[in-house]
Amino acid sequence: MIVADPSLIAALFGKLGIAAVVVLIYRMIRHSGIPVGWSELATGIAFALGAIASMINPLEIAPGIMIDARNVMVAMATVFGGFWAGLLAAVLVTGARVLIGGAGVEIAVLSIMISLAAGLAYRGLKGQRHNLIGLGLVGLSLSITFATPFLFLPSATVLPLLQSTWVAITVSNIAGAMIMGGALAAEDRLENAYGELRLAAMTDPLTGLKNRRQLDRLINSWHAGAFAADTIFTAMLIDVDHFKSVNDAHGHSLGDDVLKEIAGIVSRRVRRNDLAVRFGGDEIVIIMPDCSARRGLAVAEGIRGKVAQTSFYAEGELFSVTVSIGVAAHSASTAGLSRLLDAADRALYRAKAEGRNRCFLLEEV
């Protein structure tokens, strides 16, 4: 009868205590807002350091046979960081194990590769949808590493060791994956929820454009001198011509669809660093840094033309709408953003006065 040594289980749990530090580092990485590629790199390094710290003071169950948390660390790096994070962690941990030297290096390296494969298999099946059962199965799958000693040591040597340790190691792998993975999954859920709240606070719910709060932030940054004095800003103020008649004739629901379609046209025409804001009602403001007045006018004409070409379907017939756009530009040193928006508003008034469905550039601001 195989009986697990309680002291061995306790010792193995002790080796997993460093997981708390790795979870905290992972949380910092998730909250840092760094690009995905750098985030994967940082995640791989964090888990590798955790695994290496675990290897520095391993539990030796027999001469040359060391037990630590490296396999769980590598698997979790892959599950939560992705392929490159897992691969980086596996390479760094393998390098550290080779440098540590001693007996059982080949066994350790092969077990690290198995841990990487287990993490990849889970991520391929589950993606980023984590649950405790799945994470526990990842820990259980690490028991495949029990087969690695048979490749390098006589069965007569390996079997007695497995009889006294496999239950304890399996329990620690499963518990480690569930405890550490559960904490990491909780961090992911919190970060995703925070991201959704942050996006909701920045975005107009109907059109998906930024809301006026983001325009206020840009104004504050302008006043704080965040932009170089010679930075040219172009502002556009877009207004749907006779939008009230659209709502009156076809209902507010279709009016909302019109606004969403126009917002989509705007989003596809502006650059990543431009700010497109639903200013209110059917008005949209676009702020384009490092954009000359003439280039801004060309963008405005592209938006106006695309809107005029777009058809909408209501009550068995097609109809279209047009927009008028006021364009203005000046450098950051000339005046505040409020003055630039006032100029765009005056330009919009001229566009409407001259017949609508047109763009007007106010060059003198």
* pLDDT per residue as tens, the chain (365 positions): 444 455 555 555 555 568 888 888 888 888 887 888 889 999 999 999 999 988 887 666 555 555 678 888 999 999 999 999 999 999 999 999 888 877 678 878 888 998 999 999 998 888 778 888 888 888 888 887 766 666 666 676 666 666 666 676 777 788 888 888 888 888 888 887 777 676 666 788 888 888 887 777 766 665 555 566 677 889 999 999 999 888 888 888 888 999 999 999 999 999 888 889 998 889 999 988 888 888 999 999 999 999 999 998 877 778 899 999 999 988 766 566 778 889 999 999 999 999 999 999 987 54
What kind of fold does domain 6-202 have according to CATH? Answer: Arp2/3 complex 21 kDa subunit ARPC3 (1.10.1760)
Environment class of 117 (CB within 10 Å of its CB; exposed 0-12, middle 13-18, buried 19+): middle
pLDDT of residue 13: 56
Strands (E) across the chain are located at 59-62, 65-67, 232-240, 275-280, 283-289, 312-314, 317-319, 323-331, 359-362
Instruction: Please choose, from the candidates 67, 38, 39, 41, the residue with its C-alpha nearest in 3D space to the C-alpha of residue 54.
Output: 67
Instruction: Report domain 212-362's class.
Output: alpha beta
- Write down the domain spans for the chain: 6-202, 212-362
pLDDT of residue 3: 45
pLDDT of residue 2: 43
Give the separation between CA 141 and CA 133, rounded to whole angstroms. 12
Quickly list DSSP for 71-107.
HHHHHHHHHHH-HHHHHHHHHHHHHHHHHH-STTHHH
State pTM to two decimals.
Answer: 0.58
